[in-house]
Structure 1
Amino acid sequence: MRRIKSPDLLVAESGADLEGHGLKRSIGPFQLVCFGVGAIVGTGIFVGLSDTVAEAGPAVIVSFVLAAVTCIFTAFSFAELGGAIPVSGSSYSYAYAALGERTAFLVGWCLLLEYGVSVSAVAIGWGQYLNELLENTVGRQIPAALADAPGHGGVVNVPAIVVMALAAVLLVRGVRESARATAAMAVIKIGILVLFCAIAFTAFDSGHLSPFTPEGIGGIGAGASLAFFSFIGFDAISTAGEEVKNPRRNIPLAILITIGVVTLIYCLVSVAALGAMPWEQVGGKPAALSLIVDHATGSSIGSTVIAVGAVVAIASVVLAVMYGQTRILMSMSRDGLIPKVFERVSPKTSTPVANTWIASAVFAVPAAVVPLDVVLDMSVIGTLAIMAVVNICVLALRRSHPGLSRRFRVPLYPAAPLLGVVFSLYLMYGLPLVTWIQFAVFVAVGALVYALYGRKRSRLALSGPPEAPEPGRESPRTPARV
């Protein structure tokens, strides 16, 4: 069964050109860019850098560039689709319009990995730098039993639970307050990373970059798969489609600016970090940026500042990514594919309160008891799969809806979206076999959930609405394709 919902119908149902389902348009372009930076820059660079270095050595710089190229091609696709279909569902809604309901549901299911599971990974990393900060300021750390997952010396990761609860509290208060907090934290963490580069470059030694590829081409590819986690979140910008002022213009603009800023920062941080210390001493070390600053300055003052920045940075990622997850769940709920509780918006705060608390509680569980490496790999493979689908959506919608209003169009079409698919599949190839097996099981469970619940309760199937005609073009009102 192939149910397709036209782009115009998606926009009309969400009220995205007006006020959608109680959501208020209160996010401007600067706040939207800060939201994008806030969703991206966090655990991947502050915590995950050391794991990427362990795979690629000094060639981690190439790994970051390769991951960035993958994101740039897909960012073009998100920019086109985000401007043409400015709704909260992001890639879920794009798949609904281009590939049908079953594929859309599985994309929404995989978004649980990109947003929900990745926010668990981010929350896990927050505790590492919180301990670093406590050690440098008060000489104490959170006991290991309460600061890590079972199997890694702990029982339950309490800091991870705390940061997710704090993000939930802020999100239910209102999107305006959340956007302001995210903007402030984004500015702080960019400043901290610039400070890190300034300090690390004082200890720069080009000899640390030789040999450049100690792990060979395979190490670069494996490193790129891990480095990709550092870019996860830029598509969260498109989940704000119903709360952004002038979304058809500002969403594409914010996506492209965000990717450019983040790529530049990551490349600078990588060069500074590996020029300051031999890669063997960085790879696999927790709180690697603080370690490098301590080495460069010979004191713990610099690392304390880095730790403060990391605590702020990672908290802002939790906030931004959790926001994206709740808006996707809201879109799926509107379509009847998941329970109605997720679409309810509080008339007092104009936020999905129950949705936010449920999502926070559910994803606090893996954050509390699952090791970071397991959570990280699952988040990466789910995100790459979604990015491949988004590029395919651009190709499909160009054919099925050539008259759709597009404020931004993917350059070098169709080469760019095709390359986006190829690069996404290449990075997926670099992930461990066990991750592929876990992902296959996860997708199979999603297909079962759709077959037993979503397929029968789909509002598109129950109401049989007609597809909306393309803009500027009269067409007969025909029932949805089934």
Structure 2
Amino acid sequence: MTTLGQQLLRRKPTTPPAANEAHLKRSIGLFSLTMIGVGGTLGTGIFFILSEAVPAAGPAVIFSFVIGGIVAGLTALCYAEMAGAVPVAGSTYSYAYATLGEATAMGVGACLLLEYGVSTAAVAVGWSQYVNLLLQNLFGWEIPVQWAQAPEEGGIINVPAVIVIVLCSLLLIRGASESTTVNSIMVVIKICVVLFFCAVAFTGWNADHFHNFAPAGLSGVIGGTGIIFFSFVGLDAVSTAGEEAKNPKRNLPLAIIFALLIIITLYVLTSVSALGAQAPAKFKGQDAGLAVILQNILHSTWPGTIIAIGAIISIFSVTLVCLYGQTRILFAMSRDGMIPAVFERVNPRTMTPVRNTVIVMIVTSILAAVIPINFLAEMTSIGTLVAFLVVSIGVIILRVREPNLERGFKLPFGWVIPILSICGCIAIITQLQAVTIWVFLIWTFVFLVFYFFYGRKRSVLQTGHIVGEQVDVPFTSNVRQPGDDL
């Protein structure tokens, strides 16, 4: 019989699941993987988070994005190595399970529920802002405040936020390949919209807006980074597709690196042009900020309408990616026996976890309906930062423990990049609000208590029994199996 210490530290092998385990269909290529990364990031930090970050950092929010990009970039490289070495569903959870042990993996699972579940709610709230602006510009009418904002903001329930989550969930239920195709189309559209914004915003450039560049000093810049950091969650989303990616050891690292380069360039370009076009004081509390900036420059509603349409498409794709990531992480945890089996049941026709998706849809809809965006953003950031921290530590441990493990990508400069990533994540976490850190610690503690009484005893590594092959209806001989299209 294993001791408690052995249970807490037991690790899963760094190999894909066996043929008799529940599994997903490999149908996602390099381009779609890259678009998952871009789709999960571009939109959140650009279309609405500036109204929260600029008041904290002033014009120096540009450096907030740069710092966030550097930390995310260092971590993305760590993800690239880890994804190439451990190409399975579950992202950071699976990486922690393979390197740091079962108890740590369960704690990381708690982080990922914040990173994806709360992020889904946060971006859905931002979506509702642009829906209202579009309705106002096109029809002279908007959804009443009581049905478009959280109670703390003067409303009753945020109906548009719930609608976008339901729509994305229905699309995910249809299948991963269909979802990623739609996502790729939306990502291309929103890149064009962001470039359109930058082109117009630069025509309203005013250098005076950059006076008093960092009113709150370095602490304000780092605080701004903490607020916007959840906008880099899409890099992690690429690795959640490890079990559905074609040629994962090659394509996962490449997709993460390509997505990183695209989003950092667009984030910095957009924040510079936005601040050049509008005084920092006007950002505070501003809904649908980018659209309003263009309307003020050209004194017409049509540019704002284009941005609003782009934002609606953009944030829809972010919501889609966040929901996708959340369901795949829960799938991996359920397959390991750490949470109830309902989360790993796969529909034999679509090869997607349908019941899992419905449960996530309900929970995130409730969060989006009643919680304001600023609190959601910080909670997502701390979950993302801790997940990034674990991956960076995991890279070091895996190199020591399994130096000869096949890796699709290996970091240069030895341990330098993981160590820098660890330091950057810790520095940003220390600048978050105390209430955010305390809520995070309490949530993680509750999750670990659940593990102690449930997951520890039902873990596949404890029972020796594979939970897999859970399906909603029995398989038949003509069911398409993973890998049939490779």
What TM bracket, shorter-length normalisation? over 0.9
Name the structure 1 match of 2:398: 397
> Separation in 2 of the partners of 1:60 and 1:130?
26
Report the AA paired with residue 193 of structure 2: I
Q: Shift of the alpha carbon at 1:3? A: 3.7
Deviations 1:202-240 (A, max 9, x none): 111222212221221111111111121221221100111
SS at match of 1:11: coil
> Separation in 1 of the partners of 2:359 and 2:215?
46
Equivalent in 4, 11, 16 of residue 16 of structure 2 = 11
1:256 aligns with 2:257: yes
CA contact (8 A) 1:22 1:347 kept: no
> Separation in 1 of the partners of 2:45 and 2:461?
39
CA contact (8 A) 1:4 1:98 kept: no
CA contact (8 A) 2:249 2:408 kept: yes
Name the structure 1 match of 2:31: 30
Name the structure 1 match of 2:365: 364
Q: Which aligned pairs between 1:41-440 and structure 2 lie closer than 5 A?
A: 41-440=42-441
Deviations 1:435-472 (A, max 9, x none): 1111111111111111111111111011189xxxxxxx
SS at match of 1:142: coil
> Separation in 2 of the partners of 1:60 and 1:75?
21
Name the structure 2 match of 1:473: none
> Separation in 2 of the partners of 1:72 and 1:233?
12
The worse-fitting range, judged by mean Cα deviation, of 225-234 and 239-248 is: 225-234
CA contact (8 A) 2:112 2:383 kept: yes
Report the AA paired with residue 233 of structure 1: G
SS at match of 1:243: coil
SS at match of 1:151: helix
Runs (5+) with no aligned partner, structure 1:
466-482
> Separation in 2 of the partners of 1:133 and 1:158?
16
Q: Shift of the alpha carbon at 1:20? A: 7.3
> Separation in 2 of the partners of 1:43 and 1:203?
24
The worse-fitting range, judged by mean Cα deviation, of 113-122 and 219-228 is: 219-228
SS at match of 1:40: coil
> Separation in 2 of the partners of 1:451 and 1:22?
26
Deviations 1:155-195 (A, max 9, x none): 11111111111011100101111011000110011110000
Give the count of matched residue pairs: 460
Q: Shift of the alpha carbon at 1:135? A: 0.5
CA contact (8 A) 1:82 1:241 kept: yes
Deviations 1:302-361 (A, max 9, x none): 000000011110010111111111111010001100011111110111111111111111
CA contact (8 A) 2:115 2:230 kept: no
> Separation in 1 of the partners of 2:41 and 2:296?
27
> Separation in 2 of the partners of 1:157 and 1:281?
24
SS at match of 2:111: helix
Against the structure 1 CA distance between its residues 231 and 260, is the aligned structure 2 distance closer, same or farther, given a 3 Å change threshold? same
Q: Shift of the alpha carbon at 1:22? A: 4.6
Deviations 1:366-388 (A, max 9, x none): 11111111111111111111111
CA contact (8 A) 1:86 1:242 kept: yes
> Separation in 2 of the partners of 1:314 and 1:197?
18
Output the TM-score relative to the length of structure 2: 0.92
> Separation in 1 of the partners of 2:307 and 2:148?
20
Name the structure 1 match of 2:446: 445
The worse-fitting range, judged by mean Cα deviation, of 427-436 and 211-220 is: 211-220
Against the structure 1 CA distance between its residues 270 and 452, is the aligned structure 2 distance closer, same or farther, given a 3 Å change threshold? same
Q: Shift of the alpha carbon at 1:21? A: 3.3
> Separation in 1 of the partners of 2:120 and 2:136?
25
SS at match of 1:338: coil
> Separation in 1 of the partners of 2:88 and 2:374?
33
Name the structure 2 match of 1:471: none
Report the AA paired with residue 297 of structure 1: L
Report the AA paired with residue 163 of structure 1: V
SS at match of 2:461: helix
Q: Shift of the alpha carbon at 1:412? A: 2.0
Report the AA paired with residue 139 of structure 1: G
> Separation in 2 of the partners of 1:350 and 1:87?
16
CA contact (8 A) 1:7 1:85 kept: no
CA contact (8 A) 2:17 2:23 kept: no
CA contact (8 A) 1:113 1:378 kept: yes
> Separation in 2 of the partners of 1:158 and 1:98?
42
> Separation in 2 of the partners of 1:177 and 1:80?
28
> Separation in 1 of the partners of 2:359 and 2:425?
31
SS at match of 1:140: coil
Report the AA paired with residue 396 of structure 2: L
> Separation in 2 of the partners of 1:362 and 1:12?
28
Against the structure 1 CA distance between its residues 298 and 73, is the aligned structure 2 distance closer, same or farther, given a 3 Å change threshold? same
> Separation in 2 of the partners of 1:290 and 1:364?
26
CA contact (8 A) 1:20 1:242 kept: no
Output the TM-score relative to the length of structure 1: 0.93
Q: Shift of the alpha carbon at 1:411? A: 2.1
Q: Shift of the alpha carbon at 1:151? A: 1.7
Name the structure 1 match of 2:470: none
Q: Shift of the alpha carbon at 1:7? A: 3.6
> Separation in 2 of the partners of 1:381 and 1:457?
29
> Separation in 1 of the partners of 2:181 and 2:22?
22
> Separation in 2 of the partners of 1:63 and 1:29?
30
Q: Shift of the alpha carbon at 1:6? A: 4.2
> Separation in 2 of the partners of 1:21 and 1:190?
36
> Separation in 2 of the partners of 1:69 and 1:50?
22
SS at match of 1:212: coil
SS at match of 2:403: coil
